[in-house]
């Protein structure tokens, strides 16, 4: 399977276009499950395949990853009968672009592999259907601009919405039907069931820009079930080091709030980074929290402005403190920042299983996949 992926890699973009073309031609009934604009969806398919092939000799994590995909696909309306159609067209696309390298042995391996993946996904979806809905409708009840293209958006789901601080949710908007994007609640669960998300308008992001600049109280969005492992282990007594860049502050803030609720007996060091001081989003709120909790320490770093205090990229400033080898680490923000911070913390002696970062499993289908040695354990 890995050998065939390496063969088709130079033609990956064309292969995914071909896959969707034959899928919709042979099975036009599935077209309604996908957004009108397939650019992001094509990229997700490729990254999903890469992740599955990367985990093909790691059954535990492969089942875990595919189980999440299966549960997540409920919100799309995916049914068991759709899986054979997708598998047929996927193998046809791989065979076409692999050319003479597509042997019977490789075809058999992919047939077996896809069969295992689809069975795990269907089983996970069926189990999940016994305990909760596929999605929740939620009303926007508050919308506050925070500058630099960031908005805090508070919604109220139409039913109990279970999640754990540090997890992330998928959201669909009325402006881009079938296009789902991932955002983290910026707080621990609330008694009133409301949820506040921090959303940054990405320059080419149709969903994020609509949420920041179009959404108003009274609008309705749809939420998929939460996912992610970047959560606190109540059994652990290790001190924590947290690194937040941009709207990556949201899950870090949620973790700190949850720690306070749990009667924190550990020390927490939070590093917040941005390009300039004006872009240090959420810093004031985190500093106020540190004034209420003696165990919380907050430091900021800016990379493109000279100010009194810490200067430099967030990972570099992180490396100037410590040592962190006895800590549990939580990282959230741009992929490059998380990758560099992970490398620094690993060199300082934190084992990979104690470095947590989301999103790199389902949302990894939108972002660069982490190197395998950085994605073991509870991170992705």
User: Domain span at residue 217?
Assistant: 136-223
240-245 vs 180-183, strand pairing mode: unpaired
- Quote the pLDDT of residue 229: 84
**Are residues 310 and 249 part of one domain?**
yes
Structure tokens at 45: 């398919």
**Are residues 26 and 146 part of one domain?**
no
Give the CATH number, domain containing residue 211. 2.40.30.10
Alpha carbons 149 and 303: distance in angstroms, whole number: 19
Domain count within the chain = 3
**Are residues 113 and 13 part of one domain?**
yes
Is position 232 within any domain? no
- Quote the pLDDT of residue 359: 52
Alpha carbons 238 and 355: distance in angstroms, whole number: 12
Task: Using alpha carbons, select from 272, 245, 262, 250 the residue that is nearest to residue 185.
Answer: 250
DSSP 172: E
**Are residues 246 and 122 part of one domain?**
no
Residue 12: HSE in the Cβ half-sphere, 13 Å Cα cutoff: 15
If one counts every other C-beta atom within 10 angstroms of the C-beta of residue 190, the result is 11
Is position 355 within any domain? yes
Alpha carbons 219 and 330: distance in angstroms, whole number: 33
Answer with the one of 190, 223, 256 that is the final residue of a domain: 223
**Are residues 319 and 257 part of one domain?**
yes
**Are residues 325 and 203 part of one domain?**
no
| Cβ 242 vs Cβ 330: under 8 Å | yes
**Are residues 156 and 41 part of one domain?**
no
Answer with the one of 105, 129, 153 that is the final residue of a domain: 129
Task: Using alpha carbons, select from 140, 230, 146, 237 the residue that is nearest to residue 184.
Answer: 230
Is position 229 within any domain? no
Is position 120 within any domain? yes
Alpha carbons 337 and 248: distance in angstroms, whole number: 11
**Are residues 349 and 277 part of one domain?**
yes
Is position 244 within any domain? yes
**Are residues 256 and 162 part of one domain?**
no
* Integer-rounded Cα radius of gyration of the chain: 21
Residue 219: HSE in the Cβ half-sphere, 13 Å Cα cutoff: 18
Answer with the one of 113, 129, 145 that is the final residue of a domain: 129
**Are residues 174 and 118 part of one domain?**
no
**Are residues 285 and 347 part of one domain?**
yes
Structure tokens at 130: 């016994």
Is position 156 within any domain? yes
Q: Provide CB contacts within 8 A for 12, sequence distance 6+.
A: 46
Alpha helices by DSSP H, listed for the chain, are: 2-8, 12-26, 39-54, 59-72, 82-98, 104-129, 206-213, 249-261, 283-292, 314-319, 335-347
Burial track 6-21 (b if 16+ CB lie within 10 A, e otherwise): ebbeebbeebbebbbe
Helix (H) or strand (E) holding 240: strand 240-245
Is position 379 within any domain? no
- Quote the pLDDT of residue 365: 34
Alpha carbons 330 and 232: distance in angstroms, whole number: 9
Alpha carbons 353 and 241: distance in angstroms, whole number: 14
Sole residue written with tokens 């470095």: 355
| Cβ 341 vs Cβ 324: under 8 Å | no
Give the CATH number, domain containing residue 109. 1.10.490.10
Q: Provide CB contacts within 8 A for 364, sequence distance 6+.
A: 47, 51, 370, 380
If one counts every other C-beta atom within 10 angstroms of the C-beta of residue 92, the result is 15
Give the CATH number, domain containing residue 249. 3.40.50.80
**Are residues 269 and 189 part of one domain?**
no
- Which residues of the chain have a pLDDT value below 50? 360-380
Is position 9 within any domain? yes
């Amino acid at each position: 399977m890995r050998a065939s992926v390496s063969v088709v890699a130079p033609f990956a973009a064309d292969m995914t276009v071909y896959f969707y073309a034959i899928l919709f031609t042979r099975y036009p009934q599935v077209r309604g499950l996908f957004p009108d604009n397939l650019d992001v969806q094509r990229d997700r398919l490729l990254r999903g395949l890469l992740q599955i092939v990367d985990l093909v000799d790691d059954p535990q994590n492969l089942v875990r990853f595919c189980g999440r995909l299966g549960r997540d696909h409920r919100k799309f309306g995916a049914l068991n009968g759709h899986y054979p159609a997708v598998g047929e067209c996927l193998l046809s696309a791989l065979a076409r672009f692999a050319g003479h390298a597509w042997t019977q042995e490789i075809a058999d391996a992919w047939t077996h592999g896809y069969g295992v993946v689809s069975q795990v996904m269907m089983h996970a979806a069926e189990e999940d259907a016994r305990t909760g809905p596929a999605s929740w409708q939620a009303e926007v009840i508050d919308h506050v601009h925070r500058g630099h293209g960031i908005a805090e958006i508070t919604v109220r789901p139409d039913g109990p919405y279970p999640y754990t601080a540090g997890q992330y949710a998928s959201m669909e908007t009325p402006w881009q039907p079938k296009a789902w994007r991932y955002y983290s609640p910026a707080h621990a669960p609330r008694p009133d069931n409301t949820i506040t998300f921090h959303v940054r308008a990405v320059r080419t992001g149709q969903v994020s820009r609509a949420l920041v600049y179009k959404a108003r109280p009274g609008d309705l969005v749809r939420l998929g079930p939460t996912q992610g492992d970047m959560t606190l282990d109540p059994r652990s007594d290790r001190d924590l080091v947290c690194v937040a860049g941009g709207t990556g502050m949201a899950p870090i803030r949620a973790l700190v709030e949850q720690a306070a609720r749990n009667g924190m007996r550990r020390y927490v060091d939070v590093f917040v980074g941005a390009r300039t001081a004006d872009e240090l989003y959420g810093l004031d709120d985190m500093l106020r929290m540190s004034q209420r909790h003696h165990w919380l320490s907050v430091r900021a770093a800016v990379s493109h402005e000279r100010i009194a205090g810490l200067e430099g990229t967030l990972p570099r400033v992180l490396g100037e403190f410590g040592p962190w080898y006895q800590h549990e680490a939580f990282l959230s923000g741009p992929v490059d920042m998380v990758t560099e911070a992970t490398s620094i913390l690993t060199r300082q002696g934190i084992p990979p299983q104690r470095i947590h970062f989301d999103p790199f499993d389902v949302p990894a289908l939108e972002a660069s996949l982490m190197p395998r040695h950085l994605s073991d354990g509870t991170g992705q």
